Chain A
Amino acid sequence: MRAIGYLLYLVLIAFHEVILRGATSIAGVSINLPAIIVFSVALHRSEAETVWFAFIAAMVMSAGNPLGMGYQALTMVLISLAIYHAREQLNVESMVTRLAMLIVGVLIHNSLLLAFTRPSDFWYQMWRFSLTGTIYTGAVAYLIYTLTLGRFSRRRSGALF
């Protein structure tokens, strides 16, 4: 059953790349939904599932750009692995902290992609699209977590800080 779940995630990533990305982008800033999905897997599943899913998801995500496929796949695997180990080493239980890790992961992912695709105007792209895209993605991830997991009670958030 879990394999079907992962397959559906891949279908969702493809759906995002073809349709959702354009439909949900605001002034050129789009959501990094594949990163939300992959890093969420890293925050909740085993290491094996994390690295293989990150690798395959990155391939699906970058299918339109075969030249950057390997770079994207390795980047995604590295960030996912880092998030997974951070989760394990720090024994992170709070969902807010997990969300923060996800956002940092998205920021790193966006930045590394920019470094590969737009090295000439990296800083402009970083400020204009990467940071805003990370904020947008973080907001969407917060909504998804709130709606699907229902774990963000005020008490938990308050206890964290």
Chain B
Amino acid sequence: MSWISGIFSRSSRKLHLILILLLGIALSLPNLPLSTYVSEGILQTFYLPFASMKNSVAELRQVHVENMRLRESLVDANVKLSMLEEAGRENIRLRAVLGFEPPTGYSLLPARVIAVLGDRIPTEAVINRGYLDGVTVNEPIINEEGLLGKVVSVSHSFSTVQLLTDPTNRVAVRISESREMGIAKYVMSQGLIVDNVPYQGDVKQGDRVVSSGLGGLYPPGLVVGTVIGVERPKQDPFLSIRLAPAADFNSLDELFILRVKAP
């Protein structure tokens, strides 16, 4: 700006002041479009970059807020979708058990598993039925696949079920085809086995094993499992029979309490 000082000598000082005054007046006159042109030029040169920056920041903030809102909506939608999928699966399961008929002389009380206990495999399950529903100890528990276990304790609104996978549980069984009898139990190292079947018994792979009704706890004919292996140890008077359980103990959900019908 020193060049301005140079040309702004004392002699031309008044001239410059008059020039500024005239420019000022020209800018003030509404009939002259000078101020509009100057304003437009200044807005384009000086204001526009900052205005764009301000708008970008505002847009960025808006996008951020919208992004947060959409994320929340997405989580909400995912939860709803998950619940709907679960409801769909439940619907399929319930449709499957709808035509499930109890053995003659028994009725079914539906129940839902609310907790499963056990270390490596489930050995106990807590269900949402208690003595208020008329549940008593030792009542058999089944689902549409087969026998699951029995009630071992009952409280106000809940009951505990001892599953077949509990090593202390025993079920009197029969080989469906050959009518051979034995005791089914769960051994941790072997899985579900049938004990006490005589060496000469006619048992083969694929045979169905059902409850025999002996002992009075379980009614006869409840499916316990299918024979998957038969061994005949030379030094043992009994067969070694391994079973595949009829029920999937790892995916228990809806089940039934098998109750004797009142006469």
Contact = CB atoms under 8 A, between A and B. Distances in A.
Interface of A: 2-3, 6, 10-11, 13-15, 17-19, 45-49, 51-53, 55, 59-60, 62-67, 69-71, 73-74, 77
Interface of B: 1-2, 4-5, 7-8, 13, 16-17, 20-21, 23-30, 35-36, 38-39, 42-43, 46-47, 50-51, 53-54
Residue among B16, B25, B39, B54 with max Cβ neighbours from chain A (10 Å): B39
Give the residue among B27, B30, B54 with the most A Cβ atoms within 10 A.
B27
Contacts of A51: 16-17, 20
A19 B48 CA distance: 11
Contacts of B28: 69-71, 74
B46 A48 contact: no
Contact of B27 (A14, A18, A70): A70
Nearest to B52: A18
B5 A48 contact: yes
A18 B51 contact: yes
Contacts of B16: 48, 51-52
A15 B52 CA distance: 11
Nearest to A58: B24
Indicate the member of A15, A18, A71, A74 with the most B CB atoms within 10 Å.
A18
A49 B4 contact: yes
B24 A74 contact: yes
A67 B33 CA distance: 10
13 contacts: A2-B2, A14-B42, A14-B47, A18-B50, A48-B1, A55-B24, A59-B27, A63-B39, A63-B46, A64-B39, A64-B43, A70-B25, A74-B28
